[in-house]
Amino acid sequence: MRASHEDRDRVVDVLRVAAGDGRLTADELDERVERALTARTYGELAALTRDLPGARAAVPAPEPGKVLRIERYGANTVRDGNWVVPERIELRVTGGNVTLDFTEAVIALPSLQVDAVVTGGNLTLITRPGIVVNTDDVALAGGRVAVRESPESPEPPVPVLLNVNVSGSLVGGNIRVSPPKPSRRPLWGRGRQELT
């Protein structure tokens, strides 16, 4: 959804308070304020305050849908970028792959229920700090559920933004939960040393 001047001003105020509290350096503040003033959508504004405590109310969240239905038979789909997380997702995957990437998702509700029936396919959930995934309610028959934690926990701990509960059945497929892949340095920059 498109952001208004008032939305941008509210985010700039949050950024200034965060800098005053010592959470942002002067350079970070300048960069984020510039990006806030040119932001066009709620998603762009939310990305600027995502790592700041108590900043969730600064960006009005778009109204989430009730149910997102995804059915894939021998096909793949990826939900990523600034998508709005609904209240519930109903998945039917047969011989295909579904990826739900939460790294830039707009989270408006505290919980998400995912009802999944996966047969010979894969469901991948890519999380970020503040997202907790529970897969205890998945019935397994010849499949595998793999939950990988982030190698390093953020300091200070991030409050829980979203509880994801996955339930349903898995037959001959996989459900993977993992943090985002770390950004890779370009090959030309590896091993370079400054000469003095």
Each residue of 90-106: pLDDT tens digit?
999 999 999 999 998 88
Answer whether residue 114 shows pLDDT above 90.
yes
Structure tokens at 9: 């001003």
The domain locations on the chain are 5-58, 67-178
Kind and range of the H or E run holding 29: helix 26-38
Distances (CA, A) of 110 to 5, 76, 193: 27, 28, 46
pLDDT tens track for 43-87: 788 888 888 876 555 555 555 678 899 998 888 999 998 888 999
Q: What percent of the chain shows pLDDT beyond 90?
A: 40
- Per the CB < 8 A criterion, the answer to whether 3 and 42 are in contact is yes
Q: What letter represents residue 137's amino acid?
A: D
Q: Is residue 150 very low, low, confident or very high in pLDDT (cuts 50, 70, 90)?
A: low
Mean pLDDT over the full length of the chain: 83
Q: Is the pTM higher than 0.85?
A: no
The pLDDT value recorded for residue 151 is: 60
Predicted local distance difference test score (pLDDT) of residue 52? 81
Task: State yes or no: pLDDT of 143 exceeds 80.
Answer: yes
Paired residues of 133 in beta bridges: 164
116-130 mean pLDDT: 92
Higher pLDDT, 195 or 101: 101
Query: Residues 181-186: what's their mean pLDDT?
Result: 59
Where residue 137 falls among pLDDT bands split at 50, 70, 90?
very high
For residue 14, give both structure tokens.
């949050």
Pair 11, 40: CB distance under 8 Å: no
Q: In the chain, pLDDT over 70 holds for what percent of residues?
A: 82
Q: What is the pLDDT of residue 78?
A: 93
